[in-house]
Structure 1
């Protein structure tokens, strides 16, 4: 298999779009209410050392991905067993994200189109992207990220006159408990989901993996912070919490003559770019995992069948939007915590010991 390489800028762009992904159209840290902005800042600060642990794994073993590292550190059988867990995590996250975007497009744009058709075409784009390889996706991300971030900033500026600072007051009115809960939710969705990148980020051109992970986290976090606080300032926390897609509802309020609809299309395009990258990264992580577990030299022949499985399962993973919201609030955080936080820390501890043994 030909070695694929990424520049630092491409790696950062992929992480930024991945973080933006589904978190821009859903409410993250919504449990914090009007103190959501505090929860997002805290979650970014807490995520920094966790993301550095994720990056450290790749630094310890250059040109190795997480699946290679697991087998090297824990041995063939235990390593493949843990690899299977992370392969499942990547696969299932792809299912969840694809369903989010299927619901989003179905509710906001294509009301009479069967959801499975929408998800089919979305995932086929991702299948095509992953088949072209991570290097091509990185080049596209380098271009897309500029337009996506610029769109968010432009909409924020256009909504400035509709913002009400009183929607953020009083600060800490409900105490610290909602902020703690919101911080945990934002930490899990989306900031530490970057563990996905360790499953294939083995070939950055420059050996500055820490910089790639941290800058990706900070830029993506800043965009998410701006988008989320704009929703609260414009809609208010109560209205924002009642809506399935508050960012889309906020954009509709942009009024510049007759071109408001064009801005809705613009921001929807930015959302879809993030979704395309996020599903593609999950699909890539799952395919690479299956290839490593079974000893295949290349993952690309697995992309179509695994992509079709993601489409099939995404149609049945939730009964309706309310079921999806309940899953995101109450089930996903404790489910994802071991994959995104606990296991990476444990693997890192054992990896440091293994590195010392190999050095001696």
Structure 2
């Protein structure tokens, strides 16, 4: 069986959570208070992830698709487990839709969508055939590069002398209403709720006793990083442009201008976007593949790589025909995520705790 270290788990978790939010922006509906909304989402989202980790600890050795049959029974738990696998495939297709939406409208206008997604899917398929250990080693290489690029971008933006602290003021000028609107439900679903997909990977991590601290630390780092970029985008653009821009964080790279020499660094933004999106889609597909493998009791998960890859590729191409349709599918069709990420895990946790209490009571009585 494949194994990954907790250090590799940290890198995979952080890359997965950054995903496409590094370009599209997070909590832009909160205007100049988006950074505060992101921090609030981080606090609630981390508590949500802690619930998943408690479920993992209470059911040692079981993956997400094994939790529900173990507690709800075969006839009720198995369909729920299948629903999660299908949801992971949908999420992967939606992330591919993010790529289809961004690349042709930025650095490769006129390039057919199927070529862009096809090349991307070839790389993902190769990673899935190589296994989670190879993907984790790749994360060890890619994450430091992306973090260095982030640091370079921040330094160049400040060197361009285009920031103004007044654009962040007044803090809470519009009250908590729009901040909470950006937090619930999309703020806690995006990246934080989706981390439930790692319940298909946690059983492969060693040592297991450090999984909780590692995952929570990665989530907090992600929240602070994204909040910082939101604040930086507002410092540069102001509330109006930040809230209405389709790719506010991508535009940060475009405005860099140092001594009329360092300019037009669009490729820098696309580079780390493609890197984080690659890991997000690959992990989403890995969770679906491993889940279906366990549900069907297959010996080799690689048998599922091409069929599921073809489905994700098709979804990425056809899920939306325009940018507006893509945003609609992301905002509204993703609402079932509340059931997947909050209601069902919460119900499962209550059931596990009740059964554990009953079991302990029987042991004490028999003892």
Shorter-normalised TM-score: what interval? over 0.9
Deviations 1:325-351 (A, max 9, x none): 23333442x321111222111122223
Contact kept in structure 1, 2:233 and 2:252, CA below 8 Å: yes
Q: Do 2:33 and 2:168's aligned partners in 1 also have CA atoms closer than 8 Å?
A: yes
Q: Shift of the alpha carbon at 1:289? A: 1.9
Which of 327, 346, 351 is equivalent to 1:325? Answer: 327
TM-score normalized with structure 2 length: 0.92
- Alpha-carbon distance change, 77 to 299 in structure 1, aligned in 2, over 3 angstroms: farther
Structure-2 residue corresponding to 1:348? 349
Separation of aligned partners in 2, 1:100 and 1:78: 34
Alpha carbons 1:152, 1:223 under 8 Å: kept: no
Q: CA deviation at 1:357?
A: 5.9
2:312 corresponds to which of 290, 310, 322: 310
Contact 1:47/1:187 (<8 A) preserved: yes
Q: In the alignment, which of 224, 232, 235 is matched to residue 233 of structure 1?
A: 235
Q: Please report how far the alpha carbon of residue 74 of structure 1 lies from its aligned counterpart in structure 2 after TM superposition.
A: 1.9
**1:31 matches 2:29:** yes
Deviations 1:154-192 (A, max 9, x none): 211211221111211222222221001111222111222
Tell me the SS of whatever aligns to 1:89: helix
Equivalent residue for 2:155, pick from 154, 157, 166: 157
Q: CA deviation at 1:355?
A: 4.5
SS at match of 1:285: helix
Q: What CA deviation, in whole Å up to 9, does each residue of 1:50-91 have, x standing for no partner?
A: 111111122222232111222222222222111011111101
Secondary structure at the counterpart of residue 203 of structure 2: coil
| Matched-pair contact (CA < 8 Å) for 1:15–1:220 | no
TM-score (norm 1): 0.94
1:274 is aligned to 276
- In 1: Cα distance, 2:245 partner to 2:255 partner: 14
Q: For the structure 1 residues 122 and 354, does the alpha-carbon distance in structure 2 shift closer, same or farther, using more than 3 Å as the test? A: farther
What is the match of residue 210 of structure 1? Answer: 212
Is the Cα contact below 8 Å between 1:87 and 1:285 reproduced in 2?
A: yes
- Paired residues, what number? 356
Counterpart secondary structure, 2:341: helix
Q: Is the 8 A contact 2:14 2:218 kept in 1?
A: yes
Aligned pairs for 1:275-294 within 5 A: 275-294=277-296
Output the CA distance in 2 between the equivalents of 1:31 and 1:199: 32
Q: How does 1:146-225 map to 2 (within 5 A)?
A: 146-160=144-158, 161-184=161-184, 185-207=186-208, 208-225=210-227
Q: Distance in 1 between matches of 2:144 and 2:359?
A: 42
Deviation sequence 1:249-273 (CA, Å, 0-9, x none): 1101111343434x43233211111
- Structure 1 runs not aligned, ≥5 long: none
* Inter-partner Cα distance in structure 1 for 2:70 and 2:327: 39
